[in-house]
């Protein structure tokens, strides 16, 4: 990745979504500058449950612009995982991102992810142990939110003092989830803080950014170093393209792309993940044409990959 390109575009880490299969689809449509893995738990990686966790990180050699996104609670496991990643145990990565922003209650109730906003001593120890385990040349970043119950830029200031390579900010608080519009206006103050504290940290914006053009406009307005897109890809898998062809895709073209996704899912996850995990992707490919809602519902009731592909073949 170019060190001078600005803004860079990044595929967001999305649990159960940004796996190997989905990343291959986006790469084939219009790849971003960086891809992130799904959330991967370091405590699971360093326990008897490792076999159920490591597949989130394992990837083909063709994925050479990938960041491992990690979460957990034990600093020593962040160190061990950083060492394993540095030694290419799971494949080649460009760096590690620490999840300090996920607002899901199942993780925050235990003190992980966005709950670390309120436990800065532990957050600092996690960052330090990850740095200690990383080889020279690999980057470290944190993905977080503007605050916990309310906007709190002292949290952003704290993170800037940790001398990160990237700071990725979802422009909402933990409490707000995704229920309110993103507060982009705070990036004005955040950029000023960055320039004062550590000019080397690149600021990446996340939240409600649907496509390349919107990202470019936002980056120019707030002098951002990068843009991260997640859910926008559910409206357009070519979201990273300056000129997307998606609105001109025929129904057959959309179905063929879905079949490609299904084949990749089958290749990577057969026997490991249930077909129900494909349901969430139906809305990408089976939408915006006559009868798509009913067709989508029928497809989501499929009991096997074979049944799903048979139904799609009949639609072609």
Q: At what angle do helices 305-315 and 292-299 cross, to 10 degrees?
A: 160
Q: Is 63 helix (H, G, I), strand (E, B) or coil?
A: coil
3-class SS string, 165-234? CEEEEECCCCCCCCCCCCCHHHHHHHHHHHHHHCCCCEEEEECCCCCHHHHHHHHHHHCCCEEEECHHHH
Secondary structure of residue 247 in the 3-state scheme: helix
Q: How far is the C-alpha of 264 from the C-alpha of 258, rounded, in Å?
A: 10
Catalytic, 29? Answer no
Q: Phi then psi for 141, rounded to 5 degrees?
A: -140, 165
Q: Which two tokens stand for residue 144?
A: 């977080």
How many CB atoms sit inside 10 A of residue 162's CB?
A: 20
Query: Using CA of residue 236, residue 240, residue 244, residue 248, what is the dihedral sign?
Result: negative
> Which one, of 217, 208, 125, lies nearest residue 169 by Cα?
208
Q: What are the Cα distances from residue 19, in Å, to 35, 36, 58, 155, 177?
A: 10, 9, 10, 30, 22
Do residues 110 and 43 make contact, with C-beta atoms less than 8 angstroms apart? no
Choose the catalytic residue: 29, 102, 113, 282. 102
Cα Rg of the chain (Å, integer): 20
3-state secondary structure of 74: coil
CB-based contact 168:224 (threshold 8 Å): no
Active-site residue numbers?
102
């Amino acid at each position: 990745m170019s060190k001078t390109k600005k803004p860079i575009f990044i595929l967001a880490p999305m649990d159960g979504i940004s796996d190997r299969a989905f990343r291959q689809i986006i790469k084939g449509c219009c790849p971003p500058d960086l891809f992130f893995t799904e959330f991967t738990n370091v405590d699971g990686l360093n326990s008897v449950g490792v076999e159920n966790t490591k597949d989130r990180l394992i990837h083909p050699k063709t994925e050479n612009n990938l960041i491992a996104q990690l979460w957990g609670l034990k600093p020593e496991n962040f160190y061990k995982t950083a060492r394993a990643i540095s030694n290419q145990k799971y494949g080649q990565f460009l760096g590690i991102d620490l999840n300090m922003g996920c607002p899901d209650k199942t993780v925050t109730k235990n003190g992980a992810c966005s709950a670390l906003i309120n436990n800065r001593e532990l957050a600092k120890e996690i960052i330090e142990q990850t740095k200690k385990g990383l080889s020279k040349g690999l980057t470290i970043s944190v993905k977080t939110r503007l605050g916990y119950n309310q906007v709190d830029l002292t949290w952003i200031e704290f993170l800037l003092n940790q001398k990160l390579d990237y700071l990725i900010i979802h422009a909402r608080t933990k409490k707000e989830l995704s229920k309110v519009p993103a507060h982009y206006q705070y990036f004005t103050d955040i950029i000023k803080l960055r320039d004062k504290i550590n000019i080397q940290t690149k600021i990446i914006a996340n939240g409600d950014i649907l496509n390349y053009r919107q990202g470019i406009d936002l980056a120019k307005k707030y002098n951002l170093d990068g843009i991260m897109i997640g859910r926008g890809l559910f409206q357009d898998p070519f979201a990273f393209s300056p000129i997307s062809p998606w609105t001109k895709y025929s129904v057959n073209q959309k179905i063929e792309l879905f079949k490609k996704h299904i084949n990749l899912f089958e290749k990577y996850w057969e026997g490991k993940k249930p077909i129900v995990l494909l349901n969430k992707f139906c809305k990408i490919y089976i939408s915006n044409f006559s009868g798509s809602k009913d067709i989508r519902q029928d497809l989501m009731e499929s009991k096997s990959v074979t049944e799903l592909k048979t139904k799609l073949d009949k639609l072609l």
